[in-house]
Amino acid sequence: MKTRLLLTFLFVIVFVTSNGCGGSGGSAGRYVIPGDIPDATGTGTGTGINVTDPDALITSAWEDFKYGAYSSAIGKFNQVLAISNLSDVQKAQANNGLGWSYTKSAGLESGYSYFSQATSVLDEARVGLASAIIRRSQKSGFTQAVSLLEQVGIGNTSFRFQSVHPVGVSNAEAHALLAFAYFWRNSSGDQEKARAQISVARTEDGSSDGTVAQIYNSLRNMGLSGI
């Protein structure tokens, strides 16, 4: 029973990270944004983007991501990583973007290595990596996922997670995710922590058919009492 419910939850994790983003729902094509096309020299037209400017490329890639043009976003994030003399923050931003773009287009596992290269800097990458680790459903993984989510601040029930980019994970979902990780880690005090986290999530998102509701129902069915 517990294994079957874990598998059910893993489907939920895929749902959380593959949906919730506006736009065309994973289109591999390019959503044309006015003034966003460089000229043949690759340096921009004055109204387009400068392909040697990492910050401009990162901004443009996230615009593509927002509209579901994940292939185009991946191309631009990779262009960033090909630029010399990047700062550590710019490298992390590009890897975080690749992690989410690959997650949306091909699944959590495909974003794992990119998230791993950005977790020292960015909370979005920590949430992405925690989700990918939980997807692997290994005992040691739940411990690592808890650590990552606590680094973000989600272990504090009054903390509000707000992604910088439209990655599709709400504050309520982030707390519910940590509740599930606590439950499966099952260290001393984790049952109480799981109850507190899912309570916060349900207070904010009381829908009967959303992701938080699915996680809540899974925890109840697996035996988490007092919720």
Average pLDDT on 81-104 reads 96
Cα distance between residue 85 and residue 83, in whole Å: 7
pLDDT value for 21:
37
The CATH number of domain 1-20+108-227 is 3.40.190: no
Query: 214 by DSSP, 3-state: which?
Result: helix
| Neighbouring C-beta atoms of residue 108, cutoff 10 Å | 25
**Residues belonging to the chain:** 227
Q: Collapse the DSSP code of 6 into the 3-class scheme (helix H, G, I; strand E, B; otherwise coil) and give the result.
A: helix
**How far apart are alpha carbons 37 and 120 in whole angstroms?**
32
Q: d(Cα 46, Cα 191) in Å, to the nearest integer?
A: 57
> Nearest Cα to 171, choosing from 204, 122, 146?
204
What is the per-residue pLDDT for 99?
97
- Confidence (pLDDT) at 9: 55
Angle of helix 54-66 relative to helix 88-106, nearest 10 degrees, comes to 20
Is pLDDT above 60 for 30? Answer: no
Residue 7 in this model has a pLDDT that exceeds 70: no
Q: What is the pLDDT of residue 138?
A: 79
Q: Which long-range contacts (CB under 8 A, 24 or more apart) does 145-154 make?
A: 145/181, 146/178, 146/181, 146/182, 146/185, 148/119, 149/174, 149/177, 149/178, 149/181, 150/178, 151/119, 151/123, 151/126, 152/123, 152/126, 152/127, 153/123, 154/178, 154/197
* pLDDT value, residue 140: 81
Distances (CA, A) of 32 to 64, 101, 167: 9, 18, 20
The answer to whether 80 and 118 have CB atoms below 8 angstroms apart is no
Taking alpha carbons only, the member of 124, 119, 122 closest to residue 65 is 124
Q: How confident is the model at residue 210 (pLDDT cuts 50, 70, 90)?
A: confident
Residue whose C-alpha is closest to residue 135's, from 15, 225, 219, 46: 15
For tokens 């990918």, name the residue. Answer: 132
Minimal CA–CA distance to 179: which of 199, 153, 162, 159? Answer: 199
Q: Where are the alpha helices (DSSP H) in 47-156?
A: 54-66, 70-81, 88-106, 108-116, 123-136, 139-152
Residue 68 DSSP one-character state? T
Domain ranges of the chain: 1-20+108-227, 22-85
CB atoms within 10 A of CB 209: 7
Distance CA(194)–CA(133), nearest Å, equals 18
The 10s digit of each residue's pLDDT in 37-85 is 444 344 444 446 777 899 999 999 999 999 999 999 999 999 999 999 9
